[in-house]
């Protein structure tokens, strides 16, 4: 892309050419940061839902004055030929004859009157694109209506997954159910069309390292560093890429270097959290290559909202001890999750780990326990508690 | 239900694989000579709807990509 930028920039600056990027990813602000880093200031548009039904990226298209595609994936010589082409004598404005933003009321009436999947999908997409801030619940409901009529449609599953992930981000990772639903729909979509690369990539973004052809957002750190060195303020990101999103790939034969769970903590005489002041949730993302070889587990722990307990950040942070069932190997057997700087908080704590095994291994389970400190802000009473858990994948 | 568009993509793919007029990647869903799909997209900077018709009469380079 930067190479193309150098070639096209003089034409763009002289007004002979427009350049635009259209991104196929969940988080547009990350692409915007990438553009800032590479000093590319042309417009950036977003197709998170893959409305173009692209099987993969990247593609570069050269489009002429009439809106016709003249080259797909051109060489730079072809670009120069394209720029030398005369303007068509008779342009064809009908090709771009203006569709306007969809009429939401009309789309809703169509969906309700026909009850057709396609009509519900069109309504859902319009809500996603243009009315998300006020109608995200209606959007998800419309996707659900579309699926009710056509449950085997991978496109609806993929796009509903995108909407769930967006809601998860918008709520600042507070509701793990939205993450779970996003993964569920993406996994279903990919099972319906295993060759769809865009869908595969969306899952791999949150999946195990065995499954990654390359890291997704490991460039963010380098980009920020370079921008600061240039005296620029890096664009901010709504959700910081962490865990699986910045994890480097790992080869199968490198798995032997992952330490087996050997430092299982000794049984400690810590009182169990019988009142369940803290609850946990997990989402597992299987490898897109095999459903039995590796998993990335996204686990979260949070105080029960209705309760008055808060994390005690002045004591040891939340610590987990993990052990996998026979034939399975964990990426870590001990995990600590630091809280914010404040003395107390109620934020959900997220952690990730991976589980890998032989293709013919039995269904895995991960057992373990968490140790944590909580306080009751009303009474000032602070407690140290343990909670045991088992994950069946 | 997606057949009209999806079939078009498959038609393009088949054309590319079996000697069609595609100039580049066999798996590309785009066909030289076609118009770009008539679709609005949000602008990453402000979320406002954008359409290629805003540049009708000009040459355009369109990069379809992801930053990952």
Q: Which residues of A touch B9 (CB under 8 A)?
A: 53, 55
DSSP label at A252?
G
Query: Which is it for the CA torsion A250, A281, A169, A159, positive or negative?
Result: positive
Specify the number of domains making up chain B.
Answer: 1
Q: For the structural domain made of A2-96, what CATH number should be given?
A: 3.40.30.10
Domain that holds residue B25: 1-31
Residue of A nearest to B38 (CA): A96
Tell me the CB-side half-sphere exposure of residue B8, using CA atoms within 13 A: 14
Start-end ranges of CATH 2.60.40.1230 in chain A? Answer: 254-392
B66–A31 CB contact, under 8 Å: yes
Q: Is residue B24 part of a domain?
A: yes
Q: Is residue B64 part of a domain?
A: no
DSSP label at A89?
S
Cβ pairs A/B, distance under 8 A: 208
Q: Is residue B36 part of a domain?
A: no
CA A269-A270-A271 angle, to 5 degrees, is: 120
What residues of chain B, 23 to 62, have a C-beta less than 8 Å from chain A? 23-25, 27-45, 49-53, 55-62
CA dihedral A48, A100, A61, A80 (to 10 degrees): -140
Start-end ranges of CATH 3.40.30.10 in chain A? Answer: 2-96
Q: Which residues of A touch B51 (CB under 8 A)?
A: 96, 98-99
* Residue A227 touches partner B, C-beta closer than 8 Å: no
Note the CATH architecture for domain A254-392: Sandwich (2.60)
Residue B27 pLDDT? 66
Query: Please, what is the average pLDDT of chain B?
Result: 68
Q: Is residue B26 part of a domain?
A: yes
Question: Omega before A129 cis (within 30°)?
Answer: no
Q: Is residue B66 part of a domain?
A: no
The CA distance from A98 to A229, in Å, is 44
What residues of chain A, 305 to 344, have a C-beta less than 8 Å from chain B? none
Place of tokens 């952690």: A351
The CA R_g of chain A, rounded to the nearest whole Å, is 25
Residue B21 pLDDT? 30
* Residue A51 touches partner B, C-beta closer than 8 Å: yes
Integer angstrom CA distances of residue A352 from A11, A184, A322, A385: 47, 18, 12, 21
A74–B50 CB contact, under 8 Å: no
Residue whose C-alpha is closest to residue A211's, from A290, A103, A132, A129: A290
B28–A72 CB contact, under 8 Å: yes
Helices and strands: H and E segment counts in chain A: 10, 14
Q: List all residues 6 or more positions away from A218 whose beta carbon is below 8 Å from its beta carbon.
A: A246, A248
* Residue A70 touches partner B, C-beta closer than 8 Å: yes
A61–B38 CB contact, under 8 Å: no
- Measure CB to CB from residue B9 to each of A8, A53, A93 and give the nearest one: A53
CA distance A35 to chain B (A): 9
- Measure CB to CB from residue B63 to each of A21, A72, A219 and give the nearest one: A21
CA distance A175 to chain B (A): 24
B65–A65 CB contact, under 8 Å: no
pLDDT, tens digit, 9 for 90 and up, residues B40-53: 999 999 988 899 98
Say how far residue A386 (Cα) sits from the centre of its chain.
Answer: 31
CA distance A114 to chain B (A): 14
Residue whose C-alpha is closest to residue A135's, from A113, A115, A107: A107
* Residue A98 touches partner B, C-beta closer than 8 Å: yes
B40–A101 CB contact, under 8 Å: yes
A20–B61 CB contact, under 8 Å: yes
What residues of chain A, 140 to 159, have a C-beta less than 8 Å from chain B? 150, 153, 155
Tens of pLDDT along chain A (393 residues)?
A: 767 888 999 999 999 999 999 999 999 999 999 999 999 999 999 999 999 999 999 999 999 998 999 999 999 999 999 999 987 765 555 444 444 567 899 999 999 999 999 999 999 999 999 999 999 999 999 999 999 999 999 999 999 999 999 999 999 999 999 999 999 999 999 999 999 999 999 999 999 987 777 889 999 999 999 999 999 999 999 999 999 999 888 776 555 444 544 444 556 689 999 999 999 999 999 998 865 588 999 999 999 876 689 999 999 999 999 999 988 889 999 999 999 999 999 999 999 999 988 777 688 999 999 999 999 988 889 999 999 999 988
Question: Omega before A226 cis (within 30°)?
Answer: no
Q: Which pair of structure tokens corresponds to residue B30? A: 């785009």
Residue A93 pLDDT? 52
């Amino acid at each position: 892309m930067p190479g193309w930028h150098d070639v096209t920039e003089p034409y763009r600056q002289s007004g002979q050419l427009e350049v635009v990027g259209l991104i196929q990813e969940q988080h547009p602000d990350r692409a915007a940061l990438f553009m800032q880093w590479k000093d590319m200031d042309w417009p950036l548009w977003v197709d998170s839902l893959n409305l173009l039904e692209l099987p993969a990226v990247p593609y570069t298209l050269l489009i002429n004055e009439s809106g016709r595609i003249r080259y797909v994936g051109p060489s730079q010589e072809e670009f120069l030929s394209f720029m030398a082409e005369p303007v068509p004598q008779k342009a064809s404005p009908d090709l771009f004859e203006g569709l306007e933003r969809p009429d939401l009321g009309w789309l809703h009436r169509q969906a309700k009157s026909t009850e057709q999947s396609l009509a519900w999908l069109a309504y859902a997409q319009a809500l996603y694109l243009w009315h998300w801030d006020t109608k995200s619940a209606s959007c998800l409901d419309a996707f659900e209506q579309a699926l009710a009529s056509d449950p085997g449609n991978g496109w609806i599953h993929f796009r509903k997954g995108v909407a769930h992930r967006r809601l998860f981000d918008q709520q600042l990772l507070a509701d793990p159910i939205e993450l779970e639903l996003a993964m569920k729909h993406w996994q279903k979509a990919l099972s319906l069309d295993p060759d769809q690369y865009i869908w595969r990539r969306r899952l791999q973004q949150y999946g195990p390292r065995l499954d990654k052809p390359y890291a997704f957002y490991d460039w963010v750190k380098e980009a920020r560093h370079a921008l600061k060195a240039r005296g620029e303020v890096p664009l901010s990101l709504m959700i910081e890429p962490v865990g699986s999103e910045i994890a480097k790939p790992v080869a199968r034969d490198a798995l032997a270097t992952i330490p087996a769970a050997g430092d299982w903590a000794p049984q400690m005489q810590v009182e169990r959290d019988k009142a369940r002041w803290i609850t946990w949730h997990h989402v597992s993302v299987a490898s897109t290559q095999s459903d039995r070889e590796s998993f990335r587990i996204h686990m979260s722990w949070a105080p029960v909202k209705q309760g008055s307990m808060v994390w005690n950040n002045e004591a040891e942070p939340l610590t987990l001890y993990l052990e996998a069932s026979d034939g399975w190997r964990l990426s870590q057997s001990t995990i600590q999750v630091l809280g914010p700087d404040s003395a107390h908080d109620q934020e959900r704590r997220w952690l990730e780990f991976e589980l890998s095994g032989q293709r013919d291994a039995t269904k895995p389970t991960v057992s373990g326990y968490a140790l944590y400190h909580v306080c009751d802000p009303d009474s000032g009473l602070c407690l140290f508690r343990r909670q045991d858990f088992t994950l069946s994948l | 239900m997606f057949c009209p568009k999806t079939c078009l993509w498959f038609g393009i793919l088949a054309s590319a694989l079996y000697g069609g007029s595609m100039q580049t990647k066999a798996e590309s869903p785009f066909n030289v000579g076609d118009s770009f799909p008539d679709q609005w997209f949000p602008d990453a900077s402000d979320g406002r709807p954008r359409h290629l018709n805003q540049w009708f009469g000009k040459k355009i380079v369109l990069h379809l990509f992801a930053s990952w």
